[in-house]
Amino acid sequence: MMMCEHLEAAGNPAAVTPEGCAECLALGIHWVHLRKCLECGHIGCCDSSPGRHATAHFRETGHPVIISFQPGESWRWCYLDNEMA
């Protein structure tokens, strides 16, 4: 089974805010899990978090691929193709 083109092409930039979700940190709210954008390094919170900032980042920028930013996890997700790798 082949991966979608977005997962194949995804890079792995440095995290912009390795300490946590950029928007949650600015708002002083807590997150459940973190995701990193593989196009620009934005750190956002998952859809189980109140802010859902990783998905909001995708909707605002069109950057299609995230990776889990949780220790011990390495899965990636493409929003455009609803595909995991």
13: Cα separation from own chain's centroid: 12
pLDDT number for residue 3: 82
Strand ordering across the sheet containing 76-78 = 43-45, 34-37, 65-68, 76-78, 83-84
Structural domain range at position 14: 5-84
Here the CATH number for the domain that contains residue 53 is: 3.30.40.10
Per-residue pLDDT of the chain (85 residues; tens, 9 = 90+): 678 999 999 999 999 999 999 999 999 999 999 999 999 999 999 999 999 999 999 999 999 999 999 999 999 999 999 999 9
pLDDT number for residue 63: 98
Find, among 43, 46, 84, 38, the residue nearest to 62 by Cα. Answer: 38
pLDDT number for residue 48: 97
Q: What is the pTM of this model?
A: 0.94
69 in Cβ contact with 47 (< 8 Å): no
Number of domains within the chain: 1
pLDDT number for residue 41: 98
pLDDT number for residue 1: 62
